[in-house]
Structure 1
Amino acid sequence: MTDWNAEVETIRRRRAERTKVGPGERPAVVVVDFQRAFTEHENIGPGTAVALEHTQRLLTAARAADVPVIYLVMVLDDLDDRMLAQRVRSSLTERCLRGDPWTEISPVVPPAPQDHVVEKTVASGFWRTRLDDLLAELGVDELVMTGTSTSGCVRATVVDAAYRSLRVSVVEECCDDFRVLSGETSLWDMQDRFGDVVSLDETLERFAARAAGPGRTVDDAAVHA
């Protein structure tokens, strides 16, 4: 019989040892589906609130460093716009009709006026959306990923970003999945095949250094923030 605790420890160790692709020069933070439908539903665990709080810290640092922030939100004009599996099975996407309060972005991570919001109808933020054009307009070469769910919409967007040879940094503490085991294995899968799984602390340090700019130190940026 498989010892799943041992399996999780193994993939965590392998994830830490896996070669990193590395960050880009022009990152953008992508916030995936942190909407009320996916952050306030009946099956969320305590990790959701923690991930939202961590993401708010990251967003504050990104904006201070002039790093673009892009929200991906699922908004449907008709439930038939969903992919077949979601039309056949019960899904939280049933709450994502345009105008439904469930589609609203969580008040813990509200968009700032300069942020970008991209609507989507499936898991990936790239499928039939304006995300490709927006990234080209912004000159982005790296996606710093946050959001929910790690094994669903985050992973789908990461895979499509990797197909475009974008650098990908998945901030572990800023991703949430109420399917705990699926989230854990997806972090390993993304690190192994598609991008890098990084920590919140190292990402905050990167953004602080970016905010400091030439001739200033990271400590200077913290004082003036």
Structure 2
Amino acid sequence: MSSASSDPSVTPARPVEPVQALIVVDMQSAFVGGDGAVPHADRLLDRVRDLLARARESGALVVQLQNDGEPGTPDEPGTPGWEVHLPVDTDRGEILLRKTVDDGFEESRLEELLREAGVKELAVCGVMSEMCVSATARGAVERDFRVVLPHDAHGTYDIPAAEGFSDVVPAATVSRVAEWALGDEVEVVARARDVVFSKP
């Protein structure tokens, strides 16, 4: 791990090596559409659409994760908010995996699907930065995948103020801290457009 004095993140000095898969985490209507969307959801959607388009063009594997929330939550299965916001192109072999925990690898076939496709290197994007995105990135690293995380292609909500000990923490700060907490095991790049895809 890097020491606190070295920044493990953002903007590599050399071109990013290609990845063979794109993992889109919980880009569901409750989180990126309407009044309940994360801050700057439109910008986030633009970045993820760009990643999807280029992954598809290159023949990289695309997997979208869909969280099954508890009853009464915005992402409760079967509700409009639970639906993935960006279409899954099954004709191209794209995969939709449902999950009930933060880490998309836990209790799912994600690792098996990646191994079967010959994927060793992947990019992660989506929501929420400090929860499912971070947990899935860590899960990938723990399973010896190389992981790239584009800074402008993940998002989250503001953390509300807590009376007596904390003001509101802006969403952008939460996302940045989530990146930092991943240390040097994940390659954080400044822009989605820095990510390069290749066929597995």
TM-score, structure 1 normalization: 0.70
Letter in 2 for 1:111: V
Which deviations, in whole Å up to 9, do the C-alpha atoms of 1:185-213 show, x marking residues without a partner?
111222x243101222221xx33xx58xx
On the 8 A contact 2:20/2:60 being kept in 1, the answer is yes
More helix by share: 1
Deviation at 1:97, TM superposition (A): 2.8
Moved more, 177-186 or 157-166: 177-186
Q: Distance in 2 between matches of 1:52 and 1:12?
A: 31
Q: Distance in 2 between matches of 1:147 and 1:136?
A: 22
Deviation at 1:170, TM superposition (A): 0.4
Which deviations, in whole Å up to 9, do the C-alpha atoms of 1:125-160 show, x marking residues without a partner?
011111111111111111211100111100000111
On the 8 A contact 1:43/1:178 being kept in 2, the answer is no
Residue equivalent to 1:186: 178
Deviation at 1:95, TM superposition (A): 2.7
On the 8 A contact 1:124/1:153 being kept in 2, the answer is yes
Q: Show structure 2 runs of 5+ residues with no match.
A: 159-170
Residue equivalent to 2:52: 59
RMSD: 2.8
| Residue 126 in structure 1 maps to residue 118 in structure 2 | no
The verdict on how the C-alpha distance between 1:105 and 1:17 changes in structure 2, with shifts beyond 3 A counting, is closer
The correspondence of residues 42-81 of structure 1 with structure 2, limited to 5 A, is 42=35, 44-75=37-68, 79=70
| Residue 105 in structure 1 maps to residue 84 in structure 2 | yes
The verdict on how the C-alpha distance between 1:45 and 1:123 changes in structure 2, with shifts beyond 3 A counting, is closer
Which is greater in Rg?
Answer: 1
Match of 1:153 among 132, 137, 141: 132
Letter in 1 for 2:48: T
Considering Cα pairs closer than 8 Å and 6+ residues apart, tell me whether 1 or 2 has the greater RCO. 2
On the 8 A contact 2:50/2:193 being kept in 1, the answer is no
Match of 1:15 among 9, 19, 31: 9
Deviation at 1:72, TM superposition (A): 0.6
Deviation at 1:183, TM superposition (A): 0.8
Letter in 2 for 1:47: H
| Residue 196 in structure 1 maps to residue 196 in structure 2 | no
Deviation at 1:46, TM superposition (A): 4.2
On the 8 A contact 2:75/2:81 being kept in 1, the answer is yes
Q: Distance in 1 between matches of 2:34 and 2:5?
A: 29
TM-score, structure 2 normalization: 0.78
SS in 2 for 1:170: strand
> Sequence identity of aligned pairs in percent?
26
The verdict on how the C-alpha distance between 1:98 and 1:184 changes in structure 2, with shifts beyond 3 A counting, is same
SS in 1 for 2:43: helix
On the 8 A contact 1:23/1:169 being kept in 2, the answer is no
Residue equivalent to 1:219: none
